[in-house]
Chain A
Amino acid sequence: MKTKHRPTPFSLLATAALGFALLAIPFVGLAQRTPWSSFVQIATEETVIRSISLSMIIATSSACICLILGIPLGWILAKVEFRGLKIVRAVVLLPMVLPPVAGGTALLFALGRKGFIGEKLNSWFGITLPFTTAGAIIAATFVALPFFVLSIESSATELDSKLEEASLNLGASPIRTFFTVTLPMLRSSILAGIALSWARALGEFGATITFAGDNPEQTRTLPLQLFVALETNPERAMVIGMLMVVISLSVLVTLRGNWLVRR
């Protein structure tokens, strides 16, 4: 086996192979148990189709929200110096390491019908978020946004600010500079951020079932459907699991590792 620079020590190669096997083997198990002959039939059952479309709506809306909120947030974390920056960054990244069920519980206490904001939403506007698609979108965004922000931040940090300075010196306003110079330079990391946050939102389970509950019409996304199916209809669970593997894998392959790793 050849590497780009020098021969690879065997011990590293063996350990790496072990690591890869740990990650890959579960999917082999899933693929091997998946009832391929009835795959299409199960994947097109009404309940599954409903979950697929709910998942698509929720993941896509969530990625859009990430796009709107995540670009300014990532850019500010990368470019602006202020007191408490480290704390802000830690809070932004917290959902990546927090168990989603803890995030869902926190969302319930803030935005639930009796939460300190949710109570106002309910009494002033009659809006209740739990058990609605909107609630599921918020739960998904809560866990997906850090992935988007990190993608933007890491490339904004490396951004050469000469072009931005030139634009400012030529008399463009800071906001115009941001839109016409900065954003185009961030293009590839924005696309990577969209794909990653979309994929993360698609796979969201813990925060969703805690905050948005399991409502077949409103919040039963593919992961929730999988959870129910595991106890009632294992074949359906395998098909859904495989569907999610295929979708998520294609997103990551399309990215070609274009996240954090610059080539």
Chain B
Amino acid sequence: MKLFASICLGVAGLFFNLSCSTSGDSLRVLAAASLTEAFEEIADEFESRTGNKVTLSFAGSSSLAVQIEDGAPADVIALADEETFERVKQSGRLTQHDETIFATNYLTIITPIGNPASIKEISDLEGKKVALCQEQVPCGRLTKEIVTSLLIEIQPATWEPNVRSVRTKVELGEVDAGIVYVTDVTNQVVAIPIIESEQTKTRYPIAIVDDAEPHAEDFLDFILSSTGQGILNRLGFGEPE
């Protein structure tokens, strides 16, 4: 009986502790899936320079939008396009600060090593087994924009929830090709450029969520600093335009 009671107390205490979202003074950053490596590197650098902890959480931009709308704790949010950002603004949690564009990106075709379906250009994707981003995520919207403007009909084998799962399906050879950002290209895939996509860039906005930790501004400044921009450029992101 005593044991039971003390377990109950212990659980209650732990639960209370874990439900307080302020995990120390760690900065909570929500970022688009395509920013994974870049932000991990930037956060490491930021932590070692300032001693401030950064907690990163990555997902498709539209998932992040839903998280913000549902009140997920966050100090900084970085998305892969401005359309989704407009939607996040409606949540009323981004009233104190304006957003800044900190990077740009554009799309490319990728195929498994050896390009088994001999894809040479975007029109070759018609009738092939292709993975695309779902249309509500920025890479999906961008893909749709390009495909429609070129009057191509692609019937994808699968609509993936974010750009990284498109890449995985290509890396595993489950599809003949996929469309991802140029920054998602690895040595596990072959990139085939889409010439038209260089004019259809997406711009990445970043903003501080209302009532954020004071370090949030330092983190944002760091991303815009030459160090932050250097990391982004090295990983293939374009400069803000």
Identify the A interface with B (CB < 8 A). 108, 112-114, 128, 130-131, 209, 213-216, 219, 227-228, 230-232
Contacts and interface: CB of A to CB of B under 8 A. Distances in A.
Given A108-B174, A209-B161, A232-B62, A214 B134 contact: yes
Contacts of B157: 130-131, 213, 215
Sort chain B's interface into a size bin.
Answer: 20 to 34
24 contacts: A108-B174, A112-B173, A112-B174, A128-B129, A130-B157, A130-B174, A131-B129, A131-B175, A209-B161, A213-B131, A213-B160, A213-B174, A214-B134, A214-B160, A214-B161, A215-B157, A219-B158, A227-B161, A228-B134, A230-B66, A231-B60, A231-B62, A231-B66, A231-B136
Interface string B100-112: 0000000000000
Report whether over half of chain B's contact residues are helix, strand or loop; otherwise say mixed. Answer: loop
Contacts of A130: 157-158, 174
B134 to A, nearest CB: 6
A112 B131 CA distance: 14
| Chain A interface helix/strand/loop/mixed | loop
B115 interface: no
Contacts of B167: none
A230 B66 CA distance: 8
B161 A114 contact: no
A259 to B, nearest CB: 28
Contacts of B65: 231
Interface string B164-204: 00000100111100000000000000000000000000000
B169 to A, nearest CB: 7
B156 interface: yes
B222 interface: no
Contacts of B172: 108, 112-114
B58 interface: no
Nearest to B156: A215
Contacts of A214: 134, 158-161
Nearest to A214: B159
